[in-house]
Amino acid sequence: MSSIVIASVPIHGHVTPLLAVARHLVDRGDRVRFITGARFAEQVNATGATHIPLPPDADFDDRMDFDRVFPERAALKGAKALAFDIVHIFVKPSRGQARAVREAHAAEPIDVLLTDPAYAGAAMLLGGPREDRPAIVMCGVLPLGLGSRDTAPNGMGLLPVPGPIGRVRNALLASLVMGTVFQPVIEVANDIALEETGRPLAFNPLDWGRQAEAIVQFTVPEFEYPRSDAPAGLRFAGPLSATGSSAPLPEWWGELDGSRPVVHVTQGTIANKDWSQLVAPAVEALAEEDVLVVVATGGRPLDTLPPLPANARAAEYLPYDELLPKTDVLVTNGGYGGVQYALRHGVPIVTTSGKEDKPEVAARVLWSGVGRRIKRETARPGEIRSAVRDVLRQPRFREHAARLQAAMAASGGMHVLEEAIDGLSARVRLEA
C-alpha cells in the first residue's frame, strides 16, 4: 500500500478525472488523500479518499465570472489571456498550494504526489530540496504543455511545422513570448519561490513538469504533438475520466433513433454563462439542417436557453456513455476532458478556440484530423454550419476519430499510472 496525495486546483475539469484516479487507487488498497477546493469535499469523500481543503488563499469557486473579478481579462486573447490566468488564478495561489502539501507530508509521509498541471505549488516544491518533498507525478488533464524545440510555445494554438524551419520558428517565438507575454509569470513565480525556499526557481515555472519524476498524460500519442526532446518520464495512459452517468433519460430520448444525424452541442459545466458564444449560434446555424440538435446546459436551467428551433432538444445533463454512441458530431467550446471523452467513442468534433487551454485543444483537434476548428471564442452561425456539414459529409473526420478511438481502447489506462506510482513508491522505500 502506498501513501498517495492527489492535489488539484479547484476547477471542475481538473478535479473530475482525478476523482476517477482517487477511486481506483482507494479500491486497490492505497491510502489516498486529496487536496482541492472546499466545494469538492463531498465528491472527494465519495471516492473513499480523505479530503484536505486548500487553504483560503489558494481556494476559489471556478463557477465565478472571472472576467467580472478581473475586468482587464475580458479583452485578452491567446497567449496574453493564458499568461494573465496563469499569474492570477494559478501562480499566486501556489504559496497555499505548496503549504497544503508540506503540512500533509509532515502529518503523514507521502510516497507519491499526483498533481494536475495547473497546481503551481508543485513548482515551488520542486524548487526546494529533494529530501523535503515526495516524488511528484504530473497528471495530464490538459493538453501537454511542455516546451519543446518541436512545438510553438504553449497557449498560442499554433500547429507544429516540421524540420529546421519549424525549429527556428519555435525558438524565435519562445524567445519573444518568454521575454514579453510570459515574463510576468516568471517574475511572480520567482518572487514566491524566494519567499518559500530562499532562492529563485532554477527552471521555467511554465515547464515545471520536466522537473517532476514522471508525467502521465491522459490521452494517447496520436492526439499529441511529437516531441523529440520529451523527458524520459513521459507516459500516455489514454483518457482516465470517470465513466457512466446517473443523469435520467429525457422524455425525447426515443427520437435518437438513427433516422437523422445527431449533433450534440455543449459549452461544458463552467464556461456556460453566455450562450451567445456557442449554443445560440449553433442552434441558429443548424435550424434548417436535416439533423437533430441535442444541447446539454451543464446544469444551467433550461429556461436560460434561447428559443430552440423545431429540430433541437435540451437537457441540463445527459448520460454521455449512452449519448455519444448515438452522436455524429460534437460541437464544443474545447474542454479537454469532453474532447477526450468524445474521441473514446469515435465521435468527430467541431470546436471553437477561446481562453485557457482551449486554443491548444482546438489546434490538436485540427492537427489529429478528428474535426474542424473555428478560430474564435464566439462562433458565427455560418462558420458552425459549414464546419458541421463538412464533418458530416467527409468520411475522413470519422475515420480519424475512429483511429483515436482504437488507440484509446488499446492504451494502458490506469495501469500506466499504477506503474509510475509503484515504481516511485518502491524507490522511496529503498531510500528510506
CA atoms within 13 A on the CB side of 199: 8
Answer yes or no: are the C-beta atoms of 102 and 131 closer than 8 Å.
no
Q: In this predicted structure, what is the pLDDT of residue 432?
A: 59
Q: For cell 507575454, name the residue.
A: 181
CA distance linking residue 213 with residue 25, whole number of Å: 19
Q: In this predicted structure, what is the pLDDT of residue 31?
A: 97
β-partners of residue 4 are: 32, 112
Q: In this predicted structure, what is the pLDDT of residue 83?
A: 81
Q: Cα dist. 196→52, 182, 189 in Å? A: 21, 21, 10
Q: Report residue 290 as a C-alpha cell.
A: 436535416
Q: Report residue 398 as a C-alpha cell.
A: 470519422
Q: Give me the residues of the chain with pLDDT under 50, please.
A: none
Answer yes or no: are the C-beta atoms of 266 and 332 closer than 8 Å.
yes
CA distance linking residue 46 with residue 27, whole number of Å: 12
Answer yes or no: are the C-beta atoms of 38 and 54 closer than 8 Å.
yes
Q: For cell 524540420, name the residue.
A: 163
Q: In this predicted structure, what is the pLDDT of residue 71?
A: 74
Left (φ > 0), alpha (ψ -120 to 50) or beta: where does 41 sit? alpha
Q: In this predicted structure, what is the pLDDT of residue 246?
A: 66
| Residue 234 DSSP code | E
Statement: the pTM of the whole predicted model exceeds 0.75? yes
- Selection from 310, 317, 318 nearest residue 292 by Cα: 310
Contacts of 100 (CB under 8 A, 6+ apart): 7, 35, 52, 54, 55, 58, 121
Rounded to 10°, the helix 336-344/358-368 angle is: 30
CA distance linking residue 336 with residue 242, whole number of Å: 14
- Kindly give the residue spans of alpha helices, DSSP state H, lying in 66-93: 66-69, 78-85
Chain-centre distance for alpha carbon 123: 18
**What are the structural domains, with CATH classification, of the chain?**
3-238+412-431 (3.40.50.2000), 253-410 (3.40.50.2000)
CA distance linking residue 248 with residue 37, whole number of Å: 28
Q: In this predicted structure, what is the pLDDT of residue 172?
A: 96
Q: Environment class of residue 20 by beta-carbon count within 10 Å: exposed (0-12), middle (13-18) or buried (19+)?
A: middle
Radius of gyration of the chain (CA): 21
